[in-house]
């Protein structure tokens, strides 16, 4: 069964460092997303990406964040200068089309900023 | 008022019970509704997807949507210990982002 895969499963980084979280969406999907979940809180939308550009982003997704699809299979989230409050689970998701189709999530990357 | 309200639980039921999980929402623009199951420190796993009022059944799971009342439900029949997890409702309007509830923690006891 096709699935969204994310690497690494756990990343520890020092405050102020840059991190790149990687995702391989389901191969025929066209829409890609990043969500985050701070421990004990709800899953929050960060950004959606379609046709090589951001289609929607939340207030959380400020200038410290960027996304890229560097090749035909990978989708990355970069946090330029990490803060302690960036510690969270980051989930990548993909959907075949936009709002009217299901979104499938990866297993997440747990980011710990120390 | 929060866009999506979900009782966080925890909800504890005996094995074999029928479980009812619910969400209410305030945004009339929401048209597409999903239920996800999330095990501890894992990604949300899609269980059900609906876009019209009424019921949709898949095995032991039934999703119910009442758009007039802005209320959605997930029923689990013959609950098993392996159903113990957090259940998240999520919904979308015209855009692509999903808005999640806080999740209901369910424990099915032997």
State how far Cα A103 lies from the chain centre: 13
Nearest-Cα distance to chain B for A93, in Å, is: 10
B60 to each of B6, B64, B78, B83, how far by Cα in Å? 21, 13, 7, 11
Question: Where residue B41 falls among pLDDT bands split at 50, 70, 90?
Answer: confident
Instruction: Give chain A positions within 8 Å (CB) of B32.
Output: 99-100
Q: Which of A44, A89, A98 sits opposite B96 (nearest CB)?
A: A98
Query: How much is the average pLDDT of B85-106?
Result: 93
DSSP string for residues in A62-75? -TTEEEE--SSS-E
The percentage of chain B sitting over the pLDDT mark of 70, rounded to a whole number, equals 100
Q: Which of A43, A50, A93 sits opposite B88 (nearest CB)?
A: A43
Instruction: Give chain A positions within 8 Å (CB) of B94.
Output: 99
Better-scored residue on pLDDT, B74 or B53: B74
């Amino acid at each position: 069964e096709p699935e969204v895969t994310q690497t690494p499963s756990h990343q520890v980084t020092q405050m102020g460092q840059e991190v790149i979280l990687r995702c391989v969406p389901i191969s025929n999907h066209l829409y890609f997303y990043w969500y985050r979940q701070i421990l004990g809180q709800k899953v929050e939308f960060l950004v959606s990406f379609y046709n090589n550009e951001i289609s929607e982003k939340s207030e959380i997704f400020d200038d410290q964040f960027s996304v890229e699809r560097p090749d035909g299979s990978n989708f990355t989230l970069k946090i330029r200068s990490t803060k302690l409050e960036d510690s969270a689970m980051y989930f990548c998701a993909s959907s075949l089309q936009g709002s009217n189709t299901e979104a499938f999530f990866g297993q997440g990357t747990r980011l710990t900023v120390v | 008022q929060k866009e999506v309200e979900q009782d966080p639980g925890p909800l504890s039921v005996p094995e074999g019970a029928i479980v009812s999980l619910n969400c209410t929402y305030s945004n009339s623009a929401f048209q597409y509704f999903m239920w996800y199951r999330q095990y501890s420190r894992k990604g949300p796993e899609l269980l059900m997807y609906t876009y019209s009022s009424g019921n949709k059944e898949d095995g032991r799971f039934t999703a119910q949507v009442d758009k007039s009342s802005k209320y959605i439900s997930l029923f689990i029949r013959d609950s098993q210990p392996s159903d113990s997890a957090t259940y998240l409702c999520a919904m979308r309007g015209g855009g692509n982002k999903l808005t999640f509830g806080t999740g209901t923690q369910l424990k099915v006891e032997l």
